[in-house]
Amino acid sequence: MPISIATKRQRACAALMQQVHAITATEGPTPSALHAIKQKLVALANKTALFPLSDFEMPIAQGRNHPLLVEDNDGCGLYLTINLPGKEAAPHDHGIWCVNAAVSGIEKHEFFRRLDDGSRPGYAQVVKTGEVVVRPGQGMAMADHDIHSTIVEGDEPAIGLALYGYALARFPAVVWFHPAFASTRASLSRRLAV
């Protein structure tokens, strides 16, 4: 009996997670480790036959995350993301490392650096430091307190893989930055509720 695409996808995701844990067990989530993980995630995203759109519901609004492999407790979370053209997210800090790779479509990530020391509540100054365009064959990696914004470019949805150091259900507070107003706000941490 032939193996289903869902089973092949599940096995490929499990194999990726084993590789991720082998990399982070050796050196933690260092820049070189995140680069190595990004290469592995790009290789998985390049296997487009594992991710047919017929297996994933399209977003009702601007974006949707489909869990592919979510580990228990403080484990990692791997998701297939579908973001519609024009979807954007203001500069933010996840509080945990993440790696993205494109299956199809184009998503631009702009990176920022905080200039102030964080001592004034609600105040933040950030400056843009660079950008990466994530498209098929390319990805991006961020350390735990890197700041980025995103926008889906072009007329097609951006479909990608997103791997986080924690599952989304156990995310720390996400800090949002508003450069035009030199302000910041944080969402509630999901780590307290789990």
Q: Which domains does the chain have, with CATH numbers?
A: 5-186 (2.60.120.10)
Angle ∠(151,49,135) on CA atoms, nearest 5: 25
Per-residue pLDDT reduced to its tens digit, 30-58: 999 999 999 999 999 999 999 999 999 99
Q: At what angle do helices 31-45 and 5-27 cross, to 10 degrees?
A: 170
Report residue 70 as tokens: 């979510």
- Calpha distance 148→111 (Å, rounded): 4
DSSP string, 12-38: HHHHHHHHHHHHHHHH-S-HHHHHHHH
Average pLDDT, the chain: 94
Q: What is the pTM of this model?
A: 0.94
Minimum mean pLDDT range among 58-62, 111-115, 158-162:
58-62
pLDDT band at 2 (very low <50, low <70, confident <90, very high): confident
Report residue 30 as tokens: 């260092």
To the nearest 10°, the Cα dihedral for 172, 178, 183, 188? -20
